Structures are given as structure tokens and as C-alpha cells.
């Protein structure tokens, strides 16, 4: 079947969705997806970020679709023509959805562990506005303990329900789900602190925002200060691939996650033992640095590229100014053995 | 007197019980239908032009003919008795006072669809109606109209009533099916449509109570007889739940095609306005349809009489028209505050949004909060534009029609009553009192917000 997205033509197999076809083309035409996850069945259609305009239904029935459709759940038809980024209507709709997602989302990126690898940050960078039109009080939830390894921040949740599908499809029984409805719908457990399944940690990886974060990594480091390496180990847990990304700071492994591809989807799910308990360098065989897409903030710490030498001109500038400034700023003049009141530190 | 089809026997004492209902000619349509082929029944319903009475007005016969009979999977008929639209209470009346009519309709329709397992999904708030229906079904089983080998015809049908937990969203057909399966009542993504994959992935038809209750009459008489009532594509009779500032609120059966003026003012129906206060606005089809201002109620924008039909009420599109919807006919006189009314509707949709998709989950709450501010004297001039922008971004971008239903009343209120919003924003001290229009109707203060020309 032949599909045209934003003027790019591609041959796809029957049953491919528009989003998958767009991902095959790649680049700018790929619609953002907050709830769809190709590795999990039954996801998609909820966040409405991936809305596209179908200007021609198919060769057999060329009438355009009147409404924007969710590309992640709409199958391609032969001869279909789709406008993604090139359509004014689509960009408007994406802006609208971004605004809706953000009105009740706390502005706590500076203290959020997900910052730097957050899909909502990327979405609002691309489609969001700098100002807000929402002057009301944001909706909040009571903090809740859902398990000893996973931190739930319900205020940040965008209800993509990926984590529900993880529990449904990877674990033997699901102990959490969506409670209540409307904007008070929340992810929660029936019994407090009940999430302890061996594969429950994958909820953290699939979460597009910082609603589910790793308690063993909590507040340890910003993700862009870590150096990610591909690593593997012989994992004995049935179903675990043992292939991970370890996030290092110096010689310390601060966090272990599954390997995520360019669409931030994990390549294979890993078990909780690999994720939480193997934090020694000796546990892992390091394969090499993990590469991230061009625009990722994680690349600011890019050690694969030669860094320029940093030249600080302060010293020189100060010399041309007053002497007391030099005293204040220049590190060389500070006596580190002197306390703030002037007395010497005892040796 | 208008023709009565559904409420014909409603005043017969004891019509709730099987004996009286049977004596009055009940279940005759089942006897007749068992001798007909399913295709003939569907053809008869198609001829009748009966349109879905739940709100969307999709032709029932057409819906039935879409059901997938080739796959060989078991088929189901589900009756949508989750009547939750604010302003609509016709199904309750029908089920409460003449429950056997619905059951007869369910059997006849199931025969047409060749379904052997059918359900009535009733909302949780109608617990006493649920019990009435259960009793009626028990009577029907005892009399041999349900169960194995109905009346010796070899046709089996089981009918169950299922009680929901009280959610507006479960009136959406796919959410209803989810709820009936025991899951959270979230609407499904379409396609696949229920006619292909509905209840337990089997082909399913979901119809409103009133649509199904009209089927026995069509079979007893004929599709052509039914089509003879009404005008154009709006055939037959329709139950209207009239409420608001009228003399006689209640459920009325009208022949489609009478004028709105006649319906409001004739003694047979609403009996005119409650007091001598003038008519201000009308919601003709339940809370989710656009509200009409006084000058567009009796006449359409091009000067024709506004009739109680699907076409005439939606004449002019959303700019100057509305919809027949589910027939929740709410009349407002000049004491009503449109802003407060819109806020109240928005509050309802905020409360009832399922929370599955983003625009509806976040947008309905936002609409409610902004409307609440305006109504309570904390509005800003730009809030009116903001409301317009929010509603336009919800509409059409959601999974199910609840998002549209939440945005249409807001859009229509701003379109037709913008001055009233401006009045709320500019004179907050005047609207502090909850009954602010009772002593000072808007017409008396309209000059305050009129554009000034120097």
C-alpha cells in the first residue's frame, strides 16, 4: 500500500498505522505521541497529540476525513494522503493539546527527575507557548506510596495509561489502575504500597513524564550530568533480556534503565533486579557509550566529542579594574584556612 | 389531540402488570414477528423511517442492517437506558409506567437481529425502575415470551437488566459496552464499530429505550403507517421531556412536525409560560445542544416556522439553529441567567468526563472554572475570548462526543448571549446576588453594555 505523508511517499504493509508509517519516513513528519507505545498492546488514542489530517481517505474512497484523526490508531489505506506538520489545523490542534496537558501540570521541572528526558518537555518545547492563559489553581492530589521502589507524583501524570498496560501485559496480576474520572482520574493502587512485581519497574521507563520515577535514583543527579553506557549481564530472571543502559557519575552507577530508542520507547523490558539491585560496575559488562538523538539535552555531556578548552577572561578583566574587586573574585587570593570571622582553622 | 403511539395505554390502570398489558393487546408484535423473516422486520423498520431517539437521530433500520450477520458470531441487542442528559427524563417515564412495552420491543427487535442474548443497561440512579423492569422480565419469562423456544417457535432469547453505577459517559454506546463487560466505562476507539465488534467482540446494536419501544407499533401496524406520521425524514412520534418555566412540565408524546410555538403554548402540551414573564431562551434537546435565544425559537433565521422535527430545529446549523437531541426541552423565562445556566452545564460535563482523552479531561474543568469566575463576579474581559477558544479546541478533537457536548452549549451561549457575559464581567457588584435577574431582568440593563458611539 502506498501512503503519502506531508508529500513523502512510502510503501507500507496492510495494517500499518499512520504513525508507524510516519516513523518509517522519520524526521519532521513524525507526530508526537504521549500515550502510544508500540511495544504495548492497547495503547494509543488517548492523548490526542498525534492528531493528523487525512486529506484523501484512499484510492477507493478519496473523500477526506472530516475530523482530525489520531494517527496512532488509524490504519493506512492504499493511496491515503495525510498532512501532519504541513497542516495548519494539525499544528493548531497540537498546540491546543499541549496547552491542555500543561494547565494542570506542575511547573516543577527544576526538581523533577524526568527533566531532560521528558516527552512533555519536548512536546511543549515544540508546540507550547511561553505564556499561560490558565489563572486558576492547579488540580493537585495527595501524595501516595505505591511501592518501595517507584515514586508516584500524581500531579505530574498525564493519564496516558501506559503503566497500566505494563502491569497488564508484563506482570502476572495488575494491582494498580485508574481511579475516579475526569480531571480527578488518578493512577493508584487499591492496597497501599502494593506494587512489587519483578517487572513493575518498567512502569518508570514507559512513563512519558515524571509521574513515575525510580526511588533509588531520586534527586541523585540531573540526567544530563550522567554518562549513559550500554551494558549487559547474564540475568537469570525469566523474561529479562539483561541489556540495559547504565547511567554513571564518575565510577558510580547511579541508575539503570532499559535501552530507549529514538522515540523513547524501550527496546526490551528489564527486570527489577537489574534495575535496582545491580549498581556495581562489576555487575555489568560495559559495551560502550549510548548514543542519543541529536537534540537531546543528554548530549550536553557528550564525551564522544572533543570539548573546547574553556578560557576565562575574568582574571585579565579584573586586572584592569579596581583592586578590591580582584580580592572578591579571584580564587587565588582566598585563604582557605581562614574562617569567615578571620580566625585560622585549627590544623 | 396528537396521535399517541408509546403513551397510548399509559393511563390504563394496572398497565404495569403483565395481565393488563396482555389484555390490552400487548405482545401481539412478538407473535407477528415470529412469523416474519428477520429481513422483513428490518425492512419494515427501515420503511418506517424511525430515527434513533437517544440524541444522534441515526435511522434505526439502517443501524440494524449494518450488523455483521456473516461472521456467525452471536449477536446482541443492548438497550441504552442510561438516560443521563440533563433535562431528559422520558425513558424513565416509559420504563416506570409501561415496562412491558420496552420488553416487547426488545423481543421483537432481537428477533429482527437474530440475537439470543440481549441486555437493558440502566443507570444506577434508576434503581426503582431497575426493580420494575426485573419484575416485568420475570413475568415475561413466566408467560413464555422469554427463555427457550419462545411460544413454540424455536427461537431462544434471554434478556437481562444490568444496572450501571451512575455515569453519564456510560450512555455513549461503546462506554456502555465496556461497562456492561464489567470494565471501567471508557469509550472505545472507533472503528471497529459495535455493529462489527461490540459486546465481548460480538456484533452488537445499541438503541435507545424510546427507539426500541416504538418497534412493536411499527410491526403491529406497518412501517408505512409510521412513516405517514410526521414530516419528511422526521417520522413518527417523539417523547419530549418538558421542563423549565412552563405551566405544565412533564413528558409529552408529540407527532413530529408540530410547531415549537404550539408545543409551548397549547394546553395539550406545556400550557404556556409559567408566569407572565417573557420567554428568553430554549434548550430544545437536552443540555448538550446549543441554546436558542428568543428570536430564534418560534421562527428560524429565514423566517419559517420552527417545527419540532430533526431538520427544522437544526435549521441554520449551529449559527442560528440547535438540535432535537434526546428531547430534553428546557424553557427559560427572563429570570434565568444564561451564564449561570452555562456554568451549571459545564459543571456537569466536568464532573462526568471520563478522563481518558486530554482535551475533554482538561478542557471541561477549565471551562467550568472560568465560567464559575465570570458568574461570581471575578471575570475578566478576555475570559469570554478564552472560553470561545477553549471550547473550539475541545470540539472534534476527542474520542467520543462528550467533548462536543461540553463545548456546544458554551459556544451557543457566547454566540447568542455575549452581552450577558459582558455584563457579568463589567458589573460584578450587580451579579453578586444569585437571583440577579429576578428583579432586574437583563433587558432592563442591556443598555449598560451597549456599544457607545461618541
Question: What's the ipTM?
Answer: 0.91
Residue A128 belongs to some domain of the structure: no
Q: Tell me chain B's radius of gyration from C-alpha atoms.
A: 23
pLDDT of residue A313: 64
Name the residue facing A182 among B353, B373, B386 (closest C-beta).
Answer: B353
Please say which residue of A217, A236, A260 terminates a domain.
A217
Interface membership of B42 toward A (CB under 8 Å): no
pLDDT of residue B451: 85
Stated as kind and residue range, the H or E segment containing B279 is: strand B279-283
Query: Do A232 and A199 contact (CB within 8 A), yes or no?
Result: no
Mean pLDDT confidence for A291-307:
70
Candidates 3.30.9.10, 1.10.3720.10, 1.20.58.1290, 1.20.1440.230; correct CATH number of B338-449? Answer: 1.20.1440.230
Query: b/e map of A246-285 (b: 16 or more CB within 10 Å)?
Result: bbbeeeebbbbbbbbeebbbbeebbbbbbbbebbeeeebe
Q: pLDDT over 70 for what percent of chain A?
A: 89
How do strand A227-232 and strand A243-249 relate by DSSP bridges? antiparallel
pLDDT band, residue A27 (cuts 50/70/90): confident
Give the whole-angstrom CA distance, residue B151 versus residue A194. Answer: 54
pLDDT band, residue B316 (cuts 50/70/90): confident
Residue A141 belongs to some domain of the structure: yes
Residue A347 has pLDDT above 80, yes or no: no
Cell numbers that stand for A75 in this block: 490504519
CA A53 from chain centre, in angstroms, equals 26
Mean pLDDT confidence for A78-98:
93
How distant, in Å, are the alpha carbons of A328, B182, B206, B266 from that of B175?
69, 11, 11, 39
- Residues A204, A230, single domain; the answer is no
How do strand B76-81 and strand B117-122 relate by DSSP bridges? parallel
Residue A147 belongs to some domain of the structure: yes
Closest approach of chain A CAs to the CA of B161, in angstroms?
25
pLDDT of residue A169: 92
Q: Which chain A residues contact residue B386 at CB under 8 A?
A: 133
| Percent helix / strand / coil, chain B, rounded to 5 | 45, 15, 40
Residue A159 belongs to some domain of the structure: yes
Residue A258 has pLDDT above 90, yes or no: yes
Sheet holding B250-255, edge to edge: B250-255, B237-244, B328-333, B279-283, B292-293
Closest approach of chain A CAs to the CA of B162, in angstroms?
21
pLDDT band, residue B434 (cuts 50/70/90): confident
Contact A48 B357 (CB under 8 A): yes
Domain residue limits, chain B: 18-228, 231-333, 338-449
pLDDT tens digit string along B111-163?
999 999 999 999 999 999 999 999 999 999 999 999 999 998 999 999 999 99
Residue A307 has pLDDT above 90, yes or no: no
Give the whole-angstrom CA distance, residue B216 versus residue B211. Answer: 10
Candidates 3.30.10.20, 3.30.70.260, 3.10.20.30, 3.10.20.600; correct CATH number of B231-333? Answer: 3.10.20.600
pLDDT of residue A54: 94
pLDDT band, residue A321 (cuts 50/70/90): low
- Residues A15, A31, single domain; the answer is yes
* Residue numbers of B between 319 and 358 with CB closer than 8 Å to A: 350-358
CA quadruple A331, A337, A339, A341: dihedral positive or negative? Answer: negative
Closest approach of chain A CAs to the CA of B361, in angstroms?
5
Name the residue facing B386 among A92, A133, A183 (closest C-beta).
Answer: A133
- Residues A150, A89, single domain; the answer is no
Q: Is A48 left (phi over 0), alpha (psi -120 to 50) or beta?
A: left
Residue A173 belongs to some domain of the structure: yes
Query: Do B107 and B159 contact (CB within 8 A), yes or no?
Result: yes
| Percent helix / strand / coil, chain A, rounded to 5 | 30, 20, 55
Give the whole-angstrom CA distance, residue B67 versus residue B63. Answer: 7
Q: B241: which DSSP letter?
A: E
Contact A96 B370 (CB under 8 A): no
pLDDT band, residue A106 (cuts 50/70/90): very high
Q: pLDDT over 90 for what percent of chain B?
A: 86
Residue A67 belongs to some domain of the structure: yes
CATH at residue A82? 3.10.20.740
Give the whole-angstrom CA distance, residue A163 versus residue A152. Answer: 11
Tell me the pLDDT of chain A averaged across its residues: 87
- Residues A231, A208, single domain; the answer is no
CA quadruple B246, B249, B255, B256: dihedral positive or negative? Answer: positive
Stated as kind and residue range, the H or E segment containing A95 is: helix A88-103
Q: Matching CATH topology for B18-228 and B231-333?
A: no
Q: How many CA atoms lie within 13 A of B127 on its CB side?
A: 4
pLDDT of residue A320: 66
Q: pLDDT over 90 for what percent of chain A?
A: 61
Query: Do A214 and B383 contact (CB within 8 A), yes or no?
Result: no
Residue from A18, A87, A99, A181 to probe the interface with B (highest B Cβ count within 10 Å): A181
pLDDT of residue A309: 77
- Residues A257, A181, single domain; the answer is no
CATH at residue A153? 3.30.70.20
pLDDT of residue A333: 58
Residue A22 has pLDDT above 90, yes or no: yes
pLDDT of residue B68: 87
pTM for the whole structure: 0.90
Peptide bond before A297: cis, by omega within 30 degrees of 0? Answer: no
pLDDT tens digit string along B362-389?
999 999 999 999 999 999 999 999 999 9
- Residues A9, A79, single domain; the answer is yes
- Residues A213, A228, single domain; the answer is no
pLDDT band, residue A345 (cuts 50/70/90): confident
pLDDT of residue A332: 59
- Residues A55, A141, single domain; the answer is no
Closest approach of chain A CAs to the CA of B377, in angstroms?
15
B18-228 under CATH 3.40.50.11540, yes or no:
yes
Residue range of the domain that includes A153: 136-217
pLDDT of residue A327: 56
pLDDT of residue B78: 96
Residue A211 has pLDDT above 70, yes or no: yes
Give me the number of domains chain A comprises.
Answer: 3
Query: Do B137 and B146 contact (CB within 8 A), yes or no?
Result: yes
pLDDT of residue B134: 95
pLDDT of residue A250: 84
Give the whole-angstrom CA distance, residue A215 versus residue B394. Answer: 36
* A/B interface, count of CB pairs below 8 Å: 90
Residue A303 has pLDDT above 70, yes or no: no
* Residue numbers of B between 153 and 172 with CB closer than 8 Å to A: 167, 169
Stated as kind and residue range, the H or E segment containing B352 is: helix B338-352
Mean pLDDT confidence for B6-27:
92
Amino acid at each position: 500500500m502506498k501512503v503519502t505523508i506531508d508529500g513523502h511517499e512510502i510503501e507500507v504493509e496492510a495494517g500499518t498505522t499512520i504513525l508507524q508509517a510516519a516513523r518509517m519516513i522519520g524526521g519532521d513528519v513524525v507526530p508526537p505521541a504521549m500515550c502510544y507505545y508500540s511495544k504495548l498492546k492497547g495503547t494509543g488514542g488517548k492523548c490526542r497529540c498525534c492528531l493528523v489530517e487525512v486529506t484523501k481517505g484512499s484510492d477507493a474512497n478519496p473523500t477526506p476525513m472530516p475530523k482530525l484523526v489520531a494517527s496512532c490508531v488509524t490504519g493506512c489505506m492504499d493511496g491515503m494522503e495525510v498532512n501532519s506538520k504541513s497542516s495548519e489545523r494539525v499544528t493548531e490542534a497540537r498546540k491546543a493539546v499541549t496547552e491542555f496537558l500543561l494547565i494542570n501540570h506542575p511547573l516543577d521541572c527544576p526538581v523533577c527527575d524526568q527533566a531532560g528526558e521528558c516527552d512533555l518537555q519536548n512536546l511543549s518545547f515544540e508546540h507550547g507557548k511561553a505564556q499561560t492563559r490558565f489563572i486558576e489553581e492547579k488540580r493537585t492530589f495527595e501524595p501516595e506510596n505505591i511501592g518501595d521502589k517507584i515514586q508516584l507524583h500524581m500531579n505530574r501524570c498525564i493519564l496516558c495509561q501506559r503503566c497500566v498496560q505494563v502491569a497488564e501485559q508484563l506482570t502476572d496480576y495488575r494491582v494498580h489502575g485508574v481511579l475516579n474520572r475526569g480531571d480527578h482520574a488518578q493512577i493508584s493502587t487499591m492496597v497501599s504500597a502494593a506494587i512489587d512485581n519483578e517487572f513493575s519497574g518498567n512502569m518508570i521507563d514507559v512513563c512519558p513524564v515524571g509521574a513515575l520515577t525510580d526511588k533509588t535514583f531520586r534527586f541523585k543527579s540531573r540526567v544530563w550530568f550522567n554518562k549513559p553506557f550500554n551494558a549487559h549481564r547474564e540475568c537469570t530472571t525469566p523474561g529479562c533480556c539483561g541489556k540495559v543502559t547504565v547511567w554513571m557519575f564518575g565510577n558510580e552507577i547511579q541508575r539503570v534503565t532499559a535501552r530507549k530508542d529514538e522515540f523513547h520507547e524501550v527496546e526490551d523490558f528489564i527486570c527489577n533486579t537489574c534495575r535496582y539491585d545491580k549498581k556495581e560496575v562489576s555487575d555489568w559488562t560495559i559495551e560502550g557509550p549510548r548514543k542519543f538523538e541529536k537534540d537531546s539535552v543528554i548530549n550536553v555531556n557528550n564525551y564522544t566529542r572533543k570539548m573546547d578548552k574553556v578560557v576565562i577572561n575574568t582574571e585579565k578583566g579584573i586586572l584592569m579594574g579596581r583592586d578590591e574587586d580582584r580580592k572578591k573574585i579571584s580564587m587565588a587570593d582566598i585563604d582557605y584556612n581562614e574562617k569567615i570571622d578571620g580566625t585560622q582553622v585549627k590544623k | 389531540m396528537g396521535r399517541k403511539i408509546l403513551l397510548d395505554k399509559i393511563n390504563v390502570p394496572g398497565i404495569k402488570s403483565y395481565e393488563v398489558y396482555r389484555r390490552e393487546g400487548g405482545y401481539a408484535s412478538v407473535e407477528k414477528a415470529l412469523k416474519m423473516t428477520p429481513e422483513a422486520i428490518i425492512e419494515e423498520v427501515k420503511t418506517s423511517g424511525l430515527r434513533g431517539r437517544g440524541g444522534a437521530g441515526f435511522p434505526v433500520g439502517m443501524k440494524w442492517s449494518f450488523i455483521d450477520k456473516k461472521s456467525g458470531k452471536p449477536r446482541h441487542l443492548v438497550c441504552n437506558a442510561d438516560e443521563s442528559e440533563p433535562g431528559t427524563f422520558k425513558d424513565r417515564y416509559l420504563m416506570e409506567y409501561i415496562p412491558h412495552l420496552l420488553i416487547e420491543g426488545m423481543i421483537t427487535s432481537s428477533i429482527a437481529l437474530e440475537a439470543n442474548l440481549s441486555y437493558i443497561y440502566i443507570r444506577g440512579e434508576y434503581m426503582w425502575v431497575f426493580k420494575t423492569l426485573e419484575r416485568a422480565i420475570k413475568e415475561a419469562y413466566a408467560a413464555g415470551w422469554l427463555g427457550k423456544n419462545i411460544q413454540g417457535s424455536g427461537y431462544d432469547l434471554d434478556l437481562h437488566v444490568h444496572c450501571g453505577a451512575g455515569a453519564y459517559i456510560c450512555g455513549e454506546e461503546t462506554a456502555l459496552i465496556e461497562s456492561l463487560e464489567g470494565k471501567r466505562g471508557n469509550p472505545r476507539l472507533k472503528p471497529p464499530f459495535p455493529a462489527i465488534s461490540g459486546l465481548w467482540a460480538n456484533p452488537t446494536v445499541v438503541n435507545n429505550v424510546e427507539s426500541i419501544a416504538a418497534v412493536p407499533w411499527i410491526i403491529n401496524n406497518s412501517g408505512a403507517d409510521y412513516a405517514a406520521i410526521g414530516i419528511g425524514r422526521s417520522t413518527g412520534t417523539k417523547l419530549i421531556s418538558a421542563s423549565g418555566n412552563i405551566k405544565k412540565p412533564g413528558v409529552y408524546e408529540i407527532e413530529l412536525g408540530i410547531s415549537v410555538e404550539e408545543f409551548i403554548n397549547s394546553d395539550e402540551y406545556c400550557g404556556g409560560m409559567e408566569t407572565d414573564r417573557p420567554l428568553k431562551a430554549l434548550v430544545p434537546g437536552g443540555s448538550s445542544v446549543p441554546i436558542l435565544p428568543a428570536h430564534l425559537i418560534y421562527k428560524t433565521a429565514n423566517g419559517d416556522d420552527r417545527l419540532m422535527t430533526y431538520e427544522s430545529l437544526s435549521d441554520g446549523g449551529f449559527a442560528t439553529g440547535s438540535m432535537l437531541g434526546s428531547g430534553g426541552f428546557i424553557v427559560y423565562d427572563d429570570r434565568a441567567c444564561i451564564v449561570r445556566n452555562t456554568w451549571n452545564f459545564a459543571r456537569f460535563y466536568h464532573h462526568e468526563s471520563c478522563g481518558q482523552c486530554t482535551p475533554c479531561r482538561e478542557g471541561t474543568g477549565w471551562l467550568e472554572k472560568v465560567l464559575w469566575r465570570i458568574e461570581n463576579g471575578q471575570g475578566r474581559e478576555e475570559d469570554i475570548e478564552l472560553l470561545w477558544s477553549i471550547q473550539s479546541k475541545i470540539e472534534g478533537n476527542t474520542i467520543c462526543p462528550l467533548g462536543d457536548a461540553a463545548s456546544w452549549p458554551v459556544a451557543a451561549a457566547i454566540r447568542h448571549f455575549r452581552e450577558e457575559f459582558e455584563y457579568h464581567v463589567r458589573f460584578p457588584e450587580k451579579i453578586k446576588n444569585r437571583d440577579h435577574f429576578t428583579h432586574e431582568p437583563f433587558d432592563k440593563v442591556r443598555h449598560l453594555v451597549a456599544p457607545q458611539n461618541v
